[in-house]
Structure formats: structure tokens, C-alpha cells
Amino acid sequence: MPAPQGAAALLLLSSLIGLGSPLNPRDPNVCSLWERITYKTAYRQAVKTDHRKRYQCCPGYYESRDKCVREYLPPASSLLNHRDKRKES
């Protein structure tokens, strides 16, 4: 039995906008949030609302090749030391 058109459209839409996130939920740097989706079904006059869990990198991390990597910001003191050493030269 073929899938309803609405389900096929939702599957296509989710793959296009990256909702099928490949992030590993067991990674300690991956956070989850609940997202609400509202869509109109093609086979009847109704609006359907679903909730699903979505994964994203926690604050201070960014996604790189399906992994969450820590953003590196050098400490302000090391930047000041580097600038002071250039002035002495």
C-alpha cells in the first residue's frame, strides 16, 4: 500500500530542511528540544499538529561533519599578552 501524499510530502520536506539530523543523541555535546509541526493533510480538510524531538549542538558548540565541536575562543589574557609582545618588538 503506498504512503499517503501528505506523509510523502512531509518526508521530502524534512529531508530538504535538515530535520532528520544525523547528530548522535548520546553525544554529551548534543542538546534536544521539542518542536511542534503543523501541517494540512491532503486527504481531508483538517490541520494536524505533531510534536517531535529535534537534536542540535549545545550552546558553545557548532556542527561540523555530523559532530558537535567546541567553539574555541582564546582567553582575553592571551590576546593581551600577544599584543604586548608585538609592541615591545
Model confidence at 44, pLDDT cuts 50, 70, 90, reads confident
- pTM value is 0.49
On average, the pLDDT of the chain sits at: 74
Owner of C-alpha cell 575562543: 73
Q: Provide the percentage of residues in the chain whose pLDDT is more than 90.
A: 33
Distances, alpha carbon 46 to alpha carbons 39, 40, 51, in Å: 9, 6, 17
Residue 71 makes CB contacts below 8 A (sequence gap 6+) with: 60, 61, 62
At 32 the three-state DSSP class reads strand
